Structure 1
Amino acid sequence: MVELYLAPPLSLSSAHILTLLFAATYVGSLYLSKYTRLSFSNKSSRLKNGGSRAKGSSERWRDDPQVIRARLVIVSLVTALCCLTVYTVIHTVSWAKVCDHAWYYTKVRLGFTLSSVESLYPFLLAPLLYLGPIYASFLGERLPFQFYFSWRTDVLDTFVSWQGVRNYIFGPITEEIVFRACVLSLYHLAGATRTWMIFGSPISFGFAHLHHAWEVYNRYGRTRTALKNAALTTLFQLSYTTLFGSFCAYLFLVTGSIYPPIFSHVFCNIMGIPQIGWEIRKFPTHKRSIQWAYCIGIIGFAIALRPSVFGHVSIYWQPGSKVGKF
């Protein structure tokens, strides 16, 4: 059942404030405890090779297992708190005052229903975009069941580690629930346009990654060069995460499910940033085919994004409306 409102039950300013609170709470929670905070030496060090310096014995870096474990606990609690906030809003503004109904509508709006995804189609978009890198991996025989693929190195050592659990499980799941499901469900209740929900809402997701600049600055020696590296890295990460957030926001809105965005997030984290220049240098005789694979992937991805081909109408994507109907 779809709720019907004569006017948006939540103000747009309230949605903006709650979005900022979600982002601030998610990032701020990483610095509340001494177990989750990072610590660095105050000494500056010039590095000849331009790489990251060695970690000091008294320092705490984000890849330390004890730091990762503490952060996984706190972001899980914050994610649950954000979901509870959405439930509270729905229970307050909705006609479904009965607790069971409010929980049901919260679950639907957060995209936690498996029935909201009717096919595998939404899960294939991210792999299609990465057709070029996948083809390059095929040339290097690095795909599953090829010669240089190792289940121990490429699967166990990658995923069964604290860094793997953070990067490929807890990170994507909690970030998509908070910055996609929770944020977009509130913007939808506030009557925000699709354009804003797709291109405006991911800004908070991008800015939530700015705190990594402090780590980069310290790891690269706290020098002017380190500051430059931190600024460039942060600018790129801000642009990349905001753009990626727009894709995941669109995917969430058109499917009404949080599972395709989570899968896409995990997949993109595994694949990393495409390195077409390095791939061409490694396989010079396949330069043309690599370029074609990239072009086909990008063009095919753009064509595949048409809402009409998803074969499913979600509560967030009603035909003929620029704003999600309630």
Structure 2
Amino acid sequence: MAPIKALLDRFSELWEKQLKGAQKAPAISPNTAATLSVVFTLIYIVPFYLSPATRPSPQLSRDAPSSIRARVRAVTFSCLMSLALTIYVLYDYGKAPPQEILRLLGVWPVSLLDTAKTMLLVTILFAGPLFEAGIVDGGVKDWVRGKRLYEELSSWIGYRNFVVGPISEELIWRALIIPLHILAHVSGKKIIFLTPLYFGIAHVHHLYEFRLTHPHFPMHLAVLRSLFQFSYTSLFGFFVSFVFLRTGNLLSLILTHTFCNWMGLPRFWGRVGVEASVLNEPPSVVKKEDDDAPGSQSKGLVWTVAYYIILVSGAVGFYWQLFPLTESSYAMPVVLIEE
């Protein structure tokens, strides 16, 4: 096995030198990488509107089981098409050997240690929300028993949000789009801050779907909701793109995406113990629901103070551990920090 491993390592070393060589022209242009990124985004989104089975309407919600099943089939086909095209470009234009293609896609090798460190980093960031959901709201017992996990995954909405969505979205917008930009010699910083915009834009179509199912919702609030969604999906994209370049580990991104979908957005205002609304309903409706819902009374002030202390501490810890916990020997062949 040792000679084989040495040979594979030699292939990878030679290919990295080819990518980094100052005199070598990029295998594809940055414009080509950007064009393919747009194509992949369209391949992913457009099929949702081509069939009555997947196209949302006032009579068919995107959360209907029949719609989710049809969309899962469409997404699977879209991912296979985009994957095939990416492999072709990496192999034919980039002259990357098969093992290097697997590496660039973040598929192999897989470091479970890197995955564990990434999940620890995300857990630190969500220390506050975990405290509220697990301790304040008493959800830790359900976590230990796996009750909530079973309930979520046994529904089509949970299957979409926690399985199909994370896998397909991380495959398209990280594992496929980022290697193309590496092939085009796009800098690491540009990859981190530009490629996630495709991911953010891909969620803008939810505005149309939301208006179909909420026709009486004020338009300006719907637009604000969509812009808010674009912002936090882009911020999430910045982070996972950074992690992908630092670790070359697609599994870490999928698990991180699943975890973030499960946790939702952290609370940035209000007292703990009251469900926080994020631009989903008009303020008057939210207030009425919060006031009338049984068990919606907030906890004591001490719990709220503790939550915000833990929230800030988690953010600080995340900042300090961002580079140490993403250090990996499987990093992608790009330079993030100039010496």
**TM range, normalised to the smaller chain?**
0.7 to 0.9
Deviation at 1:150, TM superposition (A): 6.6
Q: Distance in 2 between matches of 1:317 and 1:202?
A: 17
* Alignment partner, residue 243 of structure 2: 251
Asked if structure 2 preserves the Cα contact closer than 8 Å seen for 1:216 and 1:229, the reply is no
* Alignment partner, residue 197 of structure 2: 203
SS of the aligned residue for 2:332 comes to coil
* Alignment partner, residue 55 of structure 1: none
Asked if structure 2 preserves the Cα contact closer than 8 Å seen for 1:39 and 1:61, the reply is yes
* Alignment partner, residue 157 of structure 1: 151
Q: Distance in 1 between matches of 2:112 and 2:194?
A: 25
* Alignment partner, residue 47 of structure 2: 29
Q: What residue ranges of structure 1 are gaps of 5+ in the alignment?
A: 41-58
Residue 236 (structure 1) aligned to one of 221, 224, 228:
228
* Alignment partner, residue 298 of structure 1: 315
Q: Distance in 2 between matches of 1:90 and 1:309?
A: 25
Asked if structure 1 preserves the Cα contact closer than 8 Å seen for 2:271 and 2:301, the reply is no
Please state if 1:215 is matched with 2:209.
yes
Q: What residue ranges of structure 2 are gaps of 5+ in the alignment?
A: 1-11, 19-23, 274-297
SS of the aligned residue for 2:315 comes to helix
Q: Distance in 2 between matches of 1:319 and 1:284?
A: 43
Asked if structure 1 preserves the Cα contact closer than 8 Å seen for 2:204 and 2:230, the reply is yes
* Alignment partner, residue 85 of structure 2: 85
Q: Check 1:149–1:283 CA distance in 2 against 1; reply closer, same or farther (3 A cut).
A: farther
Deviation at 1:183, TM superposition (A): 0.6
Q: Distance in 2 between matches of 1:34 and 1:215?
A: 14
* Alignment partner, residue 105 of structure 2: 110
Asked if structure 1 preserves the Cα contact closer than 8 Å seen for 2:48 and 2:54, the reply is yes
Deviation at 1:320, TM superposition (A): 6.1
TM-score (norm 2): 0.81
Where do residues 21-60 of structure 1 align in structure 2 (5 Å cutoff)? 21-40=39-58, 59-60=59-60
Asked if structure 2 preserves the Cα contact closer than 8 Å seen for 1:207 and 1:238, the reply is yes
Q: Percent identity?
A: 29
Equivalent residue letter for 2:162 = Y
Q: Check 1:175–1:226 CA distance in 2 against 1; reply closer, same or farther (3 A cut).
A: same
Q: Check 1:200–1:320 CA distance in 2 against 1; reply closer, same or farther (3 A cut).
A: closer
Asked if structure 2 preserves the Cα contact closer than 8 Å seen for 1:256 and 1:316, the reply is no
Q: Distance in 2 between matches of 1:219 and 1:194?
A: 40
Asked if structure 2 preserves the Cα contact closer than 8 Å seen for 1:9 and 1:94, the reply is yes
Q: Check 1:117–1:189 CA distance in 2 against 1; reply closer, same or farther (3 A cut).
A: farther
Q: Distance in 2 between matches of 1:182 and 1:8?
A: 17
Larger displacement relative to structure 2 (75-84 or 108-117): 108-117
Q: Distance in 2 between matches of 1:9 and 1:63?
A: 42
Q: Check 1:314–1:212 CA distance in 2 against 1; reply closer, same or farther (3 A cut).
A: same
Q: Check 1:317–1:121 CA distance in 2 against 1; reply closer, same or farther (3 A cut).
A: farther
Question: Greater helix share, 1 or 2?
Answer: 2
TM-score (norm 1): 0.84
Equivalent residue letter for 1:194 = G
Deviation at 1:311, TM superposition (A): 4.0
Deviation at 1:117, TM superposition (A): 5.0
Q: Check 1:144–1:177 CA distance in 2 against 1; reply closer, same or farther (3 A cut).
A: same
* Alignment partner, residue 181 of structure 2: 187
Equivalent residue letter for 1:140 = V
Asked if structure 1 preserves the Cα contact closer than 8 Å seen for 2:161 and 2:261, the reply is yes
Asked if structure 2 preserves the Cα contact closer than 8 Å seen for 1:254 and 1:316, the reply is no
Equivalent residue letter for 1:290 = Y
Q: Check 1:187–1:118 CA distance in 2 against 1; reply closer, same or farther (3 A cut).
A: same
Q: Distance in 2 between matches of 1:160 and 1:77?
A: 23
Where do residues 108-187 of structure 1 align in structure 2 (5 Å cutoff)? 108-116=103-111, 118-119=113-114, 120-140=116-136, 142-145=138-141, 151-152=146-147, 154-187=148-181
Equivalent residue letter for 1:35 = A
Deviation at 1:139, TM superposition (A): 2.7
Asked if structure 2 preserves the Cα contact closer than 8 Å seen for 1:122 and 1:310, the reply is no
Q: Check 1:293–1:71 CA distance in 2 against 1; reply closer, same or farther (3 A cut).
A: same
Deviation at 1:278, TM superposition (A): 4.0
Asked if structure 1 preserves the Cα contact closer than 8 Å seen for 2:102 and 2:108, the reply is yes
Equivalent residue letter for 2:194 = G
Equivalent residue letter for 2:180 = L
Where do residues 254-293 of structure 1 align in structure 2 (5 Å cutoff)? 254-276=246-268, 277-279=270-272, 281-293=298-310
* Alignment partner, residue 287 of structure 2: none
Q: Check 1:291–1:212 CA distance in 2 against 1; reply closer, same or farther (3 A cut).
A: same
RMSD: 2.2
